[in-house]
Amino acid sequence: MDNTLSTDRFSLTPLDANHIPDLHLIYSDDTNIKFMQSPPHTDLEQTKVSIEKSMETQGGIDWVIRLNENDSVIGRIRFFGQIRIPRLNYIIHHKYLDQEIATEACRLALAYGFDTLGYDRIELWLNEQDDAASHVAHKIGFKVKGRLVSKYAKNSHHHMMSIWGIHASDWQGNELDTSEAIFHSAQVILPVRDVLATAEFYRDSLGFQIDFLYGNPPAHGGVSRGSWSSNIIAFQLSPIPPDVETISQVSLNIRISGDIDALYEEYRASGVTILSEPGDKPWGFREFAIEDINGHLLVIGTPK
């Protein structure tokens, strides 16, 4: 099926191997890939390997953005394959960023995704420092749905990614089906021997705050740590019955940004039980593990 999409100025043409040299000129320019994970490509072979690998992913749709007047390739736009929620991604040569081509290309791709592929929602993940891309997302109807911490291998610092989303109903001008159950978040309920003592441990030793304590003595509680409402780590605390001798261990995987080694030293100095020191893991994180006063395992990691 030919999925070429066209406007008066440009076309979205299915990507093939013949486009790799043109795309290399884009991926090798640091200005173009400033907000991308990888550093500039140093040679054509690197671009070839990268693009051929992405083209092998099943379920994706991949176009180049080609000017009609001279057939020159000025960018790439695609839907990723093999992910749960369809995600749009694009790169355009910086010389054309102020010509509304990104906005028009995204609109073409969205129409194809909703009207032809039948997607019910589409996401766009953007570095929060990328003002131009955020402007495009807002202009075509995306709204920020959440944030997550990320780190590019080429950078020494972490940054935040905004997850923008748009429903098919918004795109098509229909009302959203409010009968659907929408899941927003979940909180772990930790079984503990002493709610108050556990809450105080998380506050005094791990830097959390106590959100609530119900009862006297407390029969239920909650603790949290985070800078903003959208990225809070929160647990609830519930006592085990008096006749239960052992607590089943709960393992918690906590993601942070910033200096993980400094946090480790802070916890070590405060007497927290250390299970493993900070180390680089093959799945792309630097992690260490500690244990709380109930024997629950906390693995704390950051993208490396």
Each residue of 139-157: b (16+ CB within 10 Å) or e?
ebebebeeeeebbbeeeee
Tell me whether residue 111 is in a domain. Answer: yes
Nearest of 4, 21, 23 to residue 13 by alpha carbon: 4
pLDDT digits (tens, 9 = 90+) for 8-62: 999 999 999 999 999 999 999 999 988 888 888 999 999 999 998 888 887 889 9
Beta bridge partners of 78: 62, 89
CB atoms within 10 A of CB 121: 16
**Same domain (yes/no): 145, 216:** no
> Do 24 and 154 fall within a single domain?
yes
Same domain, 196 and 55: no
Are 20 and 132 within one domain? yes
Same domain, residue pair 76 and 195: no
pLDDT tens string 104-146: 999 999 999 999 999 999 999 999 889 999 999 999 999 998 8
* Structural domain boundaries, residue 162: 5-172
Those residues with Cβ within 8 angstroms of residue 228's Cβ, 6 or more apart along the chain or in another chain? none
- CATH classification of the domain holding 52: 3.40.630.30
Question: What CATH number did the domain enclosing 201 receive?
Answer: 3.10.180.10
Q: Do 137 and 201 belong to one domain?
A: no
**Phi, psi dihedrals of residue 100, rounded to the nearest 5°:** 65, 10
The answer to whether the pTM exceeds 0.95 is no
Based on the domain organization, do 168 and 269 belong to the same domain? no
